[in-house]
Amino acid sequence: MIGIADTASAYNPCHGNAAQLVEAIKRGVMLSGGLPIEFPTVSIHESFAHPTSMYLRNLMSIDTEEMIRAQPMDAVVLIGGCDKTVPAQLMGAASANVPCVQLVTGSMLTGSHQGERVGACTDCRRYWGRYRAEEIDADEIDRVNDQLVASVGTCSVMGTASTMACIAEALGIALPGSASAPAVTADRIRIAERSGATAVQLARSGLKPDKILTAKAFENALRVLLAIGGSTNAVIHTTAIAGRLGIHLDLARLDAMGRETPVLVDLKPSGRHYMEDLHRAGGLPTLLRELKPLLHLDALTVTGRTLGEEIDALGAPFEQDVVRPFSNPIYPQGGIAVLRGNLAPGGAIIKQSAADPKLMKHEGRAVAFENAEDLARRIDSDDLDVKADDVLVLKNIGPKGAPGMPEAGYLPIPKKLARAGVKDMVRISDGRMSGTAGGTVVLHVTPEAATGGPLAWVQSGDRIRLDVAARALSLLVSDEEMARRRKQKPLKEPAAQRGYLKLFLQSVTQADQGVDFDFLRK
Ligand code: FES
């Protein structure tokens, strides 16, 4: 009996092909001698989940875990795609430890605006920035909007959804070559059929997630994350999945790996191309072939073969310009660097491959916002005291602060500076940023402001120093002054009276533990 976790939802266009995938998985299961039975779970879309999709990821993981455990099934195929769904499903499946295959819905196709190829959502941000700078009008934004989401499927750049698809494949829990096929292609249907057949094979062999999702598999996944210039969100999600198996992902290790793993995949937002181009270039296997010397080749995959055996079974490489060789990287180090300092004692991260090289070493005056509402109220005011070399600081958008750690870390450039042509500034917060965004944006500052991290007591006018090469983030304020501020404005942690919010605020962990609930970690 093969369960199929069906995450179709009219609120989730990223899963708009789920019905077709269910049919294809069923064919694969039945042709292999299994009995397919689909079941629904929570489905989360980035745009339509309030207050933020991340607030619901752990809920979806609980639903997935308990439904797998409660219903009779010998293996399960998980249909995920939009940012939070694949992490939630892998967290749940890791805890349930029933044989499973992850199947992603696949990426959207790209569209075309006045002859320029566009795709969600790196190009959305660029056009929105131009609109804010009054370079284009509302009519044009409407026309671009129609082209950015050209089909069902997940965002077409190396955002969080594409990153998690690649990570699932690198972990060995999704089929080799399955990450990159766009949602509307015949390849996606073939992969779904093969995922069904593979689930039957897993039901027979009894190969469980804990034999696939090992410490070595997670190192392979982090290598891939660094080499694809992947989403910063994937650090949190991968940490959470590993935490379900009692595996601790060390940020220091991630940073050390980043120093020897260049960005090789030329996709937006770090590069030029889209997921459909990566698929034409051979998909993730083309990258794995290049990364082979850095991978743990003995890690098992859902096929029952090792990652090394899967790479050896690939055909000869062919000419393409999406996955670069080691000798010609997009960026000489991994896409993500880990920062530490008195402003982030538990760490912070920056997507250095998508940042402005001129700002990688920068000292500036803080312009602080207390929370998202404060930011919305003041950021576009002509009276805001801000200059291009200032450092924008946003507090209280961490796991407990917002709550749910929304993707508000990509602070907009203040309108008056945008109009003057400023494209990037150093921005710091305890929140997250969409994987489709770029800029000199420091994220996941830990501990967050709402639990008493030093960020809570930053004031406008303070000096802040960022030095990415030295991996340092420093608040140039004395310990005595910080102690005085703490005393003057004591911390009041967020709390709730009832319901999921109460559970969330009581149990959610910080970014360095994956923002999972403490009682769900192993
Ligand atoms: Fe679903 Fe981007 S909105 S992947």
Instruction: Give me the pLDDT at residue 129, please.
Output: 87
Name the residue with the closest Cα to ligand 1, atom 3: 46
For strands 36-40 and 2-6, give the pairing: parallel
Q: What are phi and psi of 306, to 5 degrees?
A: -80, 165
Where do we find the tokens 């940073």?
255
Centre of ligand 1 to C-alpha 121, Å, is 8
DSSP bridge pairs for 365 = 463
| Residue 410 to residue 392: CA distance in whole angstroms | 10
- Residue whose tokens read 């489709």: 436
Q: What is the pLDDT of residue 477?
A: 98
At residue 95, the 3 state secondary structure works out as: helix
Best probe residue, ligand 1, of 56, 123, 154 (max atoms within 8 Å of C-beta): 154
Q: What's the CA gap between 249 and 253, in Å, rounded?
A: 8
Ligand 1 centroid – CA 283 distance (Å): 19
Alpha carbons 243 and 212: distance in angstroms, whole number:
15
Write out the E strands in 116-273: 116-118
**Average pLDDT of adjacent 10-residue blocks, the chain of 522 residues:** 98 98 98 98 95 97 98 98 98 98 98 95 89 93 94 96 98 98 98 98 98 98 96 97 97 94 94 97 98 98 98 94 96 94 96 93 98 97 97 98 94 94 96 90 98 97 98 97 96 95 98 97 96
β-pairing verdict for 463-467 and 441-443: unpaired
In this prediction, residue 132 carries a pLDDT of 86
DSSP string, 409-440: -SPPPPHHHHHTT----EEEESS---TT--SS
- pTM of the complete model: 0.97
pLDDT score of 121:
87
Answer yes or no: is the C-beta of 83 below 6 A from any ligand 1 atom: yes
Give pLDDT, residue 24.
99
Task: Say if residues 115 and 159 touch (Cβ distance below 8 Å).
Answer: no
Cβ atoms 352, 379 nearer than 8 A: no
Please give the distance of CA 483 from its chain centroid, rounded to a whole number.
35
Backbone angles phi, psi at 41, to 5 degrees: -140, 175
Distance CA 84, CA 140 (A): 31
Contact at 8 Å (CB) between 261 and 230? no
Tell me, using a 6 A CB cutoff, whether residue 65 lines ligand 1: no
Tokens of 315: 């055909």
Could you give the CA distance from residue 444 to residue 5 in angstroms, rounded to a whole number? 31
Q: What is the DSSP string of 277-312?
A: HHHHTT-HHHHHHHHGGGS-TT-B-TTSSBHHHHHH
What span, in angstroms and rounded, lies between the C-alpha atoms of 476 and 143?
A: 46
CA dist 269 and 149 (Å) reads: 16
For a ligand 1 pocket test, name from 7, 11, 14 the mutation site with the most ligand atoms within 8 angstroms of its C-beta: 14
What is the structure's pLDDT at 446?
Answer: 97
Q: Whose CA is closest to atom 2 on ligand 1? A: 155
Record the tokens describing residue 514, joined without a space: 């994956």
Centre of ligand 1 to C-alpha 410, Å, is: 17
How much distance in Å is there from the Cα of 409 to the middle of ligand 1?
17
Residue 447, preceding bond cis, omega within 30 degrees?
Answer: yes
